[in-house]
Structure 1
Amino acid sequence: MSIFLAELIGTAVLIIIGNGVVANVVLPKTKGHGGGLLAICFGWALAVFIAVYMTGSVSGAHLNSAVTIALAVAGKFSWSDVPLYLTAQLLGAMLGAFFVWLTYRQHFDASEDASMKLASFCTGPSISNPLQNLLTETIATAVFILGVLFITKADASLGSLDALPVALLVMGIGLGLGGPTGWAINPARDLGPRIMHALLPIKNKGGSNWSYSWVPVLGPVIGACLAVFVYQLLMG
């Protein structure tokens, strides 16, 4: 399996399970309807665990544009490989979102709440305040990337043994910091599915909230760079 394909498939699996859990919880007439934040956090943790375990030995299992950028800024990853990884992650996220829609298509049609349909694709703020929302995403991503940097301090790859600690890290951030914005902490995770929400023929879907879309992209990038600075400061 090529590195590009591994990143694409890994990110697709991440979104299929992660966004699939969100759809199961927020859309009507599903078996998991009303499962709440704990179910979503646990589901995303499992999504990360499975995706990292699957692809860690091939691509290093970045599966997150913020991880790729952080490792490059830290000098642990070649900048020449960054475009390949970012492209694979975005396409994988779009593909994953497509399969979530395909699976829950009847439930999307049964829902009259456009905001819940959008939530099954991408993140959004509980209280809309762009600067505060940006700060939240920056902090959450910085915590995540700092954890990843310590987990991968020997090299720039996430191997199968790293799958569990990274999954627990994602779950902890979701439980502790996920309330205000839904903790995107990954530009591809938010942007790819948001594009699919705009493209797919979803009944009464409403808008894709593009006015907010820059927050879960810029916030994780800033957070990634901040985490690298803190990590290098701590490591001397």
Structure 2
Amino acid sequence: MSTSSGASIIEYTTTKRIPSKEFTEHVEHAHKDGSFVSSASMEHYTRYPNRWSRVRELVREYVAEFFGVMILIIFGNGVDCQVVLTGNTAVAPSPKGDYLSISFGWAVGTALGVWVSSGISGGHINPAVTIALATFRDFPWRKVPGYIFAQVMGGLCGAGIIYANYIHAIDLYEGGRHIRTVPGTASLFSTYAASYMTSVSCFFDEFVGTAVLLIVVCALTDRNNGPPPAGLVPLALFLTILGIGASLGYQTGYAINPARDLGPRLLTAMVGYGGAVFSFRNQYWLWCPVIAPIVGGLVGTFLYDAFFFVGQESLLNRPDANARRAHEQAIRAERQKPIAGTQGV
């Protein structure tokens, strides 16, 4: 492009080759005194500028899920520890928070975890979400094992960070480094239902919480149902988790996320709580905070897709035999139409 105004001239020539990510730029400036200053720059953009970039391309989605869950657990387990441990006067002169603080902490952790990972991996940070999207929304099943492994490991590492941060307070609360009780301080990291809850009630509580979560997640990502502006989905999820925690959280600890429970549970088994974290209430860890959220997530997604979602990526919106037959007939009819202007020839 060349423009002329009085004694000043600017020439700007740009050459781009998009497939190979190469870019060449040449700029010439003419000053009022007639002298020219010419600058030329050559920059090359490639998809893999070095070896690490190739590795990163392979793992970035899974690492995003890892960090998303780790951030969730750092805030969630962190607020649990602060609120409960400071209730002991050996730790703090007065409690530093209450149940509402716990609800806010988990809501903040969810929002920030999704914010960190959503642009890279979709921000699932929950195996129940991953499995539901793979079942109903065309998320590739080949990625599911890697996503779930990364989510569980993120939970384990996040819990490890919080355990290391609060270990001295836990020692004071329990009465010594060698004392670790289940549920006791193990409940600061994983979920343990209230003693009055029956097994069916525990399962139902987690089922309902996760079903509600997935219905909201589906609505937030549905372009035809008034989704929030770009970048504000984490804020909407903040409100969702805050509401679930404040309304449904007390009885089972609202895991609503198998990785949020299993990752920290593995950590507690490793640091001294032992096998009791798994044997509690007849393998409670498996049927309540793992299986119930997965089933709840599937049912919630099914209900939304059955009654609201019209996108073609849903399993429930795939063309049936009659629709496919009508489509094929329409194509054949289009092919048999005479060419315009040839009817009278």
Normalised by the length of structure 1, the TM-score is: 0.91
Change over 3 Å in CA distance of 1:72–1:154 after alignment to 2: farther
Alpha-carbon offset, residue 117 of structure 1: 0.8
Identify if the C-alpha distance between structure 1 residues 63 and 32 changes in structure 2 by more than 3 Å, giving closer, same or farther: farther
Superimposed CA distance per residue, residues 52-73 of structure 1 (whole angstroms, 9 cap, x where no aligned partner): 1112111111101111111112
What does the per-residue CA deviation read over 1:68-115, in whole Å, with 9 as the maximum and x for residues that have no partner? 111112124111111111010000000001001000000111122833
Contact 2:76 2:106 in 1 (8 A): yes
Is 2:132 the partner of 1:66?
Answer: no
Residue 104 of structure 1 aligns to a residue whose secondary structure is: helix
Task: Name the structure with the higher helix share.
Answer: 1
Aligned pair partner of 1:138 in 207, 216, 226 = 207
Higher strand share: 2
Q: What RMSD over aligned residues (CA atoms) do the two structures have, in Å? A: 2.2
CA deviation map 1:146-193 (0-9, x unaligned)? 1011112249xx973210001110110111111210100000100110
| Aligned match of 1:150 | 219
- Over residues 21-70 of structure 1, what are the superposed CA-to-partner deviations in whole Å (9 max), with x where a residue is unaligned? 00111123158836221000001111111111112111111101111111
Separation in structure 1 between the aligned mates of residue 291 and residue 102 of structure 2, nearest angstrom: 23
Q: How many Å separate the matches in 2 of 1:190 and 1:32?
A: 28
Contact 1:24 1:32 in 2 (8 A): no
Which segment is superposed worse, 185-194 or 23-32?
Answer: 23-32
Which residue is 1:167 aligned to?
A: 238
CA deviation string 1:97-152 (max 9, x = no partner): 10010000001111228333111110111134111100110011000111011112
Q: Does 1:116 align with 2:184?
A: yes
Bigger drift between 45-54 and 70-79 goes to: 70-79
Corresponding position: 1:95 with 2:167: no
Any unmatched runs of 5+ in structure 2? 1-55, 175-179, 310-345
Q: 2:303 aligns with which of 216, 219, 230?
A: 230
* Contact 2:269 2:275 (C-alpha < 8 Å) held by counterparts: no
Q: Separation in 1 of the partners of 2:134 and 2:275?
A: 37
Unaligned stretches of 5+ in structure 1?
none
Structure 1 residues 160 and 88: CA distance shift in structure 2, 3 A: farther
2:73 pairs with 9, 12, 15, which one? Answer: 15
Q: What's 1:52 paired with?
A: 114
Contact persistence 1:186–1:216 (CA under 8 A): yes
Partners of 1:22 and 1:120 within 8 A in 2: yes
Contact 2:132 2:301 in 1 (8 A): yes
> In the aligned structure 2, how far is the partner of 1:33 from the partner of 1:121?
19
- Structure 2 residue matching 1:122: 3-state secondary structure: coil
Go from structure 1 to structure 2 and tell me whether the alpha carbon gap of 1:30 and 1:51 turns closer, same or farther (over 3 Å shift): farther
1: CA distance between counterparts of 2:157 and 2:272? 15
For the 8 Å contact 1:134–1:219, the answer to whether it is kept is yes
* AA aligned opposite 2:97: G
Residues 1:208 and 2:277 aligned together:
yes
State, as a whole percentage, how many aligned pairs show the same letter: 36
Match of 1:151, as an amino acid?
A: L
One-letter amino acid of the structure 2 residue matched with residue 120 of structure 1: L
Structure 1 ranges of 4+ moved more than 3 A: 30-34
1:185 aligns to what?
Answer: 256
**Segment of structure 1 superposing worse, 117-126 or 92-101:** 117-126
Q: Which amino acid aligns with 2:84?
A: V
Q: TM-score, normalised by structure 2?
A: 0.63
Instruction: Work out which of the two has the higher radius of gyration on C-alpha atoms and give 1 or 2.
Output: 2
In structure 2, distance between residues paired with 1:207 and 1:4: 30
The aligned counterpart of 1:218 is: 291
- Is contact 1:185–1:220 with CA below 8 Å preserved after alignment? yes
Tell me which of the two structures has the higher relative contact order, counting C-alpha pairs closer than 8 angstroms and 6 or more residues apart.
1
Counterpart check, 1:35 vs 2:104: no
SS for the counterpart of 2:236 is helix
Residues 10 and 130 of structure 1, relative CA distance in 2, 3 Å threshold: same
Cα 1:218–1:36 change in 2 (3 A) is same
